[in-house]
Structure 1
Amino acid sequence: FEDMVVVEYMLSIVQRLPYLGPIYGGLREGVSIYLQGTIPENINRFFINLLCGESESSDIALHFNPRFDGRDKVVFNTCQNGSWESEEKIHSMPFCKGQAFEMIILVSSHGYKIKVNGNDFHHFKHRIPFERVCAMQIAGDVSIQTINVIGVMGGQPIYNPPVPFSNMIPGGMFPKRTIIIRGMVPYGGDRMSINFVVSRSRDIAFHLNPRVREGVVVRNSMIGGCWGQEEREISMNPFMEGQYFDMSIRCGNGRFKVFVNGQHLFDFVHRFQSCNEIDMLEIDGNVQISYIHF
């Protein structure tokens, strides 16, 4: 498992539409589905369905259907045994023509909590047990860049945190633990830093420092107030202005393994005595963070 790129609680994909695919492991309380996409100028409508099977004729536990029809609204519904139930119509449109969006579907014990661009939008109560959901369908006038299915292992994700960011890592780092960070380098952004810190001593066990204009990703550590030797060699630089990135940082027995956008970027050999003492994550610089999953 040391070389796994995708951990079991995260599915990251870029898809052409229409899309119909499985949700590996299904849904459970605390799971969230993160979507990032763009609304075209000539939109009419699109939909997102959470299905109880992997065919278009399966029961639909959640039907999410924005409609730009002159009386803009979002329709929620379910469909069982081929029959649609009563619609819930929200006469408020959280999407804008020609603009990008971020959307989250959070599974709670009572229903699906929908957020768009960081704002609470609607809570659709369960009509079909969420345990039956095993697939997702997306079609219509929308462009989807990324779908992430994030589970509850290791705690809840943090969405849209402000930068600078500093937070304790629940349970600390340990072998085989993976931290997921999704974000974007804004236009004009030059550099950022991601630090894995020992809070009691303020030692930086792992310093990850993408420098956009130089086209390098610097790695280092700072122990006892002294910086170590920089590491700069990489086969590619995935950090570019205006581009989203998905980063997976996995703590191994002897090293950190870093993947970006599904590709192995580098390994960083542990310089600190024990990775178990690493208990804080800090992020600073020119970066916008969509979410962090511990």
Structure 2
Amino acid sequence: MAIEFETLKVPYYRAIPRGLDLESSVTLEGVIPQQSRGFQVDFAYGQFLGASIPLRFKVSFEGLLSSPAIVTLNSFADSQWGKEVTVTGTPFRQNQWFKIQFIITRQGYKIMKEDTLLCDFDHRLSPKKIRFLEIEGDLQLKKVAFN
């Protein structure tokens, strides 16, 4: 049985009333347009200025269109950003379909692209208090799934 997905509007905001439990996951699927400068995914405690963000996942394209993306990971708490973690040489490309899965583990987040481990990010704040998923930037979002 084929399932067709409608395009979801970006920016995308979705409430997560119970937070995220260990071993739960969030899967995103979509297309990165050819002229994309990048996009970001925030797992946030609230939808107000200064709300804590346990995880910001940001994909940035710089330079030539064929250049691989730079992925940065960070968290925001007590009105300041933590130490940014950079992942270079990632498999994200413009004008390409993607599937990203964020798996919440006891230690942190396992971030998968196309079922292959992209990177890990240790918990700095509790995922249980996450109440919102926010996605912004240059992408065509096709699917968001919570498991």
Q: One fold, TM greater than 0.5?
A: yes
Q: SS of the residue aligned with 2:46?
A: coil
- CA distance in structure 1 between the partners assigned to 2:134 and 2:40 by the alignment: 8
Conservation of the 8 A alpha-carbon contact between 1:44 and 1:67:
yes
- CA distance in structure 1 between the partners assigned to 2:138 and 2:49 by the alignment: 18
Conservation of the 8 A alpha-carbon contact between 1:21 and 1:136:
yes
- CA distance in structure 2 between the partners assigned to 1:131 and 1:125 by the alignment: 14
Corresponding pairs, count: 139
Q: CA deviation at 1:41?
A: 0.2
Corresponding position: 1:24 with 2:17: yes
Aligned to 2:109: 112
Structure 1 vs Structure 2 CA RMSD: 1.8
For 1:52, the aligned partner's letter is Y
- CA distance in structure 1 between the partners assigned to 2:60 and 2:76 by the alignment: 18
Aligned match of 2:48 in 49, 55, 65? 55
- CA distance in structure 1 between the partners assigned to 2:128 and 2:96 by the alignment: 33
For 1:145, the aligned partner's letter is K
Aligned to 1:91: 88
For 1:92, the aligned partner's letter is G
Corresponding position: 1:144 with 2:141: yes
- CA distance in structure 2 between the partners assigned to 1:144 and 1:57 by the alignment: 26
Q: CA deviation at 1:108?
A: 0.3
Q: CA deviation at 1:13?
A: 8.2
Taking a change above 3 Å as real, the CA distance of residues 40 and 14 of structure 1, as seen in their structure-2 partners, is closer
Higher relative contact order (CA 8 A, sep 6+): 2
Taking a change above 3 Å as real, the CA distance of residues 24 and 14 of structure 1, as seen in their structure-2 partners, is farther
Q: SS of the residue aligned with 1:131?
A: helix
Conservation of the 8 A alpha-carbon contact between 2:100 and 2:111:
yes
Aligned to 1:65: 58
For 2:81, the aligned partner's letter is W
Taking structure 1 as the reference length, what is the TM-score of the superposition?
0.45
Corresponding position: 1:76 with 2:69: no
- CA distance in structure 2 between the partners assigned to 1:131 and 1:121 by the alignment: 23
Once the two structures are superposed, residues 227-247 of structure 1 have per-residue CA deviations (whole angstroms, 9 ceiling, x without a partner) of xxxxxxxxxxxxxxxxxxxxx
Taking a change above 3 Å as real, the CA distance of residues 16 and 143 of structure 1, as seen in their structure-2 partners, is same
For 1:43, the aligned partner's letter is S
Taking structure 2 as the reference length, what is the TM-score of the superposition?
0.88
Once the two structures are superposed, residues 213-271 of structure 1 have per-residue CA deviations (whole angstroms, 9 ceiling, x without a partner) of xxxxxxxxxxxxxxxxxxxxxxxxxxxxxxxxxxxxxxxxxxxxxxxxxxxxxxxxxxx
Identical amino acids, percent of aligned pairs: 25
Alignment gaps of 5+ in structure 2: none
- CA distance in structure 1 between the partners assigned to 2:43 and 2:79 by the alignment: 15
Conservation of the 8 A alpha-carbon contact between 1:45 and 1:65:
yes
Once the two structures are superposed, residues 19-46 of structure 1 have per-residue CA deviations (whole angstroms, 9 ceiling, x without a partner) of 1221132100010101111000001121
Structure with the greater alpha carbon radius of gyration: 1
